[in-house]
């Protein structure tokens, strides 16, 4: 497998496909985008991924957060762990993630291998096909999933 291609990018801050966000926003009343820039934020309130997002209490921004985290291997697991932590404080996080079911973070925070289903208060929705992020010329080289961490 060519992992250099799969995990490489000029940037790991890709804009969420608008149709994907809009469909989820009809279901969830998002109050904050938890890993955004001024150029790609999907909510009026946003926190930048590289400045403070992992060090803030997300519940201070409302009850529901949208999160398309940086997909780099170092940051994505940290955002998933933070979402799991914030749900214990009453906050719901809806995340767009690569569907990497073989990763440690998938099994640590999302999937209960003993019960063969998502962990308690976690929902997994696999997305059919490959998403096209931002103004990229091509679709992503990986499948995606939406993971919901509920209180």
Domains and CATH numbers, the chain: 14-149 (3.40.50)
Compute φ and ψ for 136, nearest 5 degrees.
-65, 145
- Could you tell me the pTM of the whole model? 0.85
Question: How far apart are the C-alpha atoms of 89 and 86, rounded to whole Å?
Answer: 5
Distance CA 54, CA 80 (A): 10
Distant-in-sequence, close-in-space partners of 10: CB < 8 Å, separation ≥ 6: none
Asked whether 91 and 63 are in contact (CB, 8 A), the reply is yes
* In contact, 66 and 37? CB cutoff 8 Å: no
Q: Which pLDDT score is estimated for 73?
A: 67
pLDDT at position 13, please? 61
Question: What is the structure's pLDDT at 26?
Answer: 97
For residues 20 and 30, what is the distance between their CA atoms, to the nearest angstrom?
14
pLDDT of residue 17: 84
**How many CB atoms lie under 10 A from the CB of residue 6?**
14
Intervals of the chain under pLDDT 70 = 1-14, 51, 73, 132, 134-137, 139-141
**The pLDDT value given to residue 140:** 66
């Amino acid at each position: 497998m060519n992992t250099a291609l799969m995990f490489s990018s000029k940037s790991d801050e890709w804009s969420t496909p608008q149709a994907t966000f809009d469909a989820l926003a009809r279901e969830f009343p998002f109050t904050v985008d938890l890993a955004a820039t001024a150029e790609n934020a999907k909510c009026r309130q946003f926190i930048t991924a590289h400045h403070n997002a992992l060090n803030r209490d997300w519940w201070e921004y409302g009850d529901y957060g949208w999160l398309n985290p940086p997909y780099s291997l170092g940051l994505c697991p940290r955002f998933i762990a933070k979402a799991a932590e914030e749900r214990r404080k009453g906050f719901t996080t809806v995340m767009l993630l690569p569907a990497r079911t073989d990763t440690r973070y998938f099994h640590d925070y999302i999937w209960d291998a003993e019960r063969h289903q998502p962990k308690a208060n976690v929902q997994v929705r696999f997305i059919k096909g490959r998403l096209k992020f931002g103004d990229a010329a091509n679709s992503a080289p990986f499948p995606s999933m939406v993971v919901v961490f509920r209180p």
